[in-house]
Structure 1
Amino acid sequence: MIEAPAAILTVWHQFDGFPVETLTKAWYYQRSGENKQRSVEQMQKHYHQYKITGNCFDLAIWLLSAFDAEGVKAYPIGSHLKTVQAHAAILAEDQSGRRFLCDLGDQWIQPILIDFTSKAFDSNKQTGFFPGAEVQVRPVEKGFEIVYFRPNGKKSSQVYMTEPIERDYFWEAAEYSQHHIHPEPLVEVRLQEKGETVHWEFDNWHSFRSTKTGLYRDSNVETLQEWVARIHEKTQYDKEFLLEALSYYEDLKQ
């Protein structure tokens, strides 16, 4: 397993335990004016107040700012920008120019090398990068594909374009995303259990854990208060924030 250099990992580990979620999007949408994408300063303030983070655009913008602050060359990448299927991540470079995918929006455990011409590149399935799955990096036109291999034999994939996205355009794409709220709430977070990084997910009023041995569904709950308690246990998010955000999504079901 090829780890990213210390300069990249030091920044990456500042975000250990940061969930990705759409609750903050809904919460801030109701409180903000015309502009919905939060600045890094606003995100930091909200994190200290409520322990909240944000969606993939929030986390990519925040991570990019942290790389900038430490002098690490990095730039945003994405797919399906300015659509409701958009996904955002960061590529960071080491001093030799090798590029590492840094994707907090998909809750990776650590960055992964994506340069196929590098002597260090590993084309085999790899463990220790993504919770509950092995991953393989494959080249595609203008980018790369990540294939996820899960314990039950299920495979899925995500394609990334490696062309750097101009930052102003990336901000426009982030603004677009924050204006479009999917009616099904989502929270994902990496948790440490029995020496393993597992992936816990709350998706459309169900929750489950993905581990090296499979997917395990949580017991069903019926009330908002029960969901507040469960999500708070996993994320440490402020309970009043959770109640307000979840109430917004419950209203969307009506």
Structure 2
Amino acid sequence: MKAPEEILAVWRKFDDFPMETLTKAWLYSKQSNRKQRDVEAMKQHHKEFGVTGNCFDLAIWLLDAFKEAGIEAYPIGSELGTGDDHAAVMAVDRKGRRFLCDLGDQWLQPILIDGDDVAYTDEKLAGFFPGAEVQVLPEKDTFKVVYHRLNGKFSTQIYSTLPVSMKEFLAAADFSQSHVYPKPLLEVRLPWENETAHWEFCNWKSFLSTSKGLVEDPPLSTIDEWVERIHEKTGYDKTLLKESLEYFKGLEESSAS
């Protein structure tokens, strides 16, 4: 179910890239042109501030990296242009086999989605998603992923396998970048004991998802404390973090008044 080396070599370039909405909020507060950044702009912001972006940013960046490496890839998505959308990438190897590449959900590595391939299995697999085993269940034009966690807990997600045109994908990306959900979010893969775990900052709480369960962080009360914690996990520029988090606090206060 693992991708071949040529796909993995591109994927690994993004191993330490968080998925987050903090950059979007920071940009939104700074400029009137609230549209999807191109790859060059994203690379420049990453160089200057250490930041990455949301699922659209990461998908577009990954597509560009696959193109540069000569690997066929195309965007996929769900509920595009609704505000509840999710963006990912499908990479195709030299044999025509398709692999889900989802940086937005912080997968550890791509996974085969073709049910008729000899390498396919519907068994639960570790090593693809932090803190969970996964099953891939192909259906017509879609496939379901079942995430199995401790104590029998599980959740599901359905992906479309159909390519989305870049015109439609970029229009959905523009829509996403022009709307800021008032609860900040950042997810990043981090080493923990003998595995890679998933650290999440969401709505002023943070925790680590591991194969042994959730490890909750102590609560914090100030933006400066959150800046230090997020910087420690990501290396993001502290000034950018503070400005972004202050913007989120302003949104929160506006919605409460």
Q: TM-score, normalised by structure 1?
A: 0.98
Describe the superposition over 1:161-220 as per-residue Cα deviations: whole angstroms up to 9, x where unpaired.
011001111000100111111110000000011120000000000000000000111100
Shift of 1:29: 1.3
- What pairs up with 1:212-223 in 2 under 5 angstroms? 212-223=211-222
Matching residue of 1:58: 57
Question: Residue 60 of structure 1 contacts residue 104 of structure 1 at CA under 8 Å; is this kept in 2?
Answer: yes
- 1:97 is matched with 96
Q: Does 1:36 align with 2:22?
A: no
Divergent runs of 4+, >4 A = none
Give the CA deviation at 1:35: 4.2
Q: Aligned-pair distance for 1:231?
A: 0.4
Distance apart, 1:67 and its partner CA: 0.2
Which residue is equivalent to 1:165? 164
> In 1, Cα distance between the equivalents of 2:68 and 2:10?
9
CA RMSD, 1 decimal? 0.9
> What corresponds to 1:25 in structure 2?
24
**Aligned-residue offset at 1:144:** 0.3
The secondary structure found in structure 2 opposite 1:42 is helix
Q: Judging changes above 3 Å, is the alpha-carbon distance between structure 1 residues 56 and 150 closer, same or farther for their aligned structure 2 residues?
A: same
Written as runs of structure 1 = structure 2, the 5 A alignment for 1:80-95 is 80-95=79-94
Task: Look up the SS of the partner of 2:226 in the other structure.
Answer: helix
Q: Which amino acid aligns with 1:132?
A: G
The answer for the alignment partner of 2:153 in structure 1 is 154
Check the 8 A contact 2:63/2:75 in 1, yes or no. Answer: yes
CA distance in 1, matches of 2:10, 2:213: 30
List aligned pairs for 1:55-204, cutoff 5 A. 55-204=54-203
One-letter amino acid of the structure 2 residue matched with residue 70 of structure 1: A
CA distance in 2, matches of 1:125, 1:93: 23
Following the alignment from structure 1 to structure 2, what is the Cα–Cα distance between the partners of residues 31 and 171?
21
Give the residue type in structure 2 aligned to 1:20.
M
Give CA deviations for 1:48-107 in whole Å, capped at 9, x if unaligned.
Answer: 000000000000000000000000000000000001110000000110000000000000
Aligned residue identity for 1:201: E
Q: Indicate conservation of the 8 Å contact 1:137/1:146, yes or no.
A: yes
Identity of aligned residues (%): 56
Deviation at 1:34, TM superposition (A): 3.1
CA distance in 2, matches of 1:35, 1:204: 23
1:19 aligned partner, one-letter code: P
Gaps of at least 5 residues in structure 2 are none
Instruction: Report if the CA contact (8 A) 1:225-1:243 is conserved.
Output: yes
Q: Structure 2 length normalisation: TM-score?
A: 0.97
Q: Is the 8 A contact 2:50 2:236 kept in 1?
A: yes
Aligned to 2:24, what secondary structure does the other structure show? helix
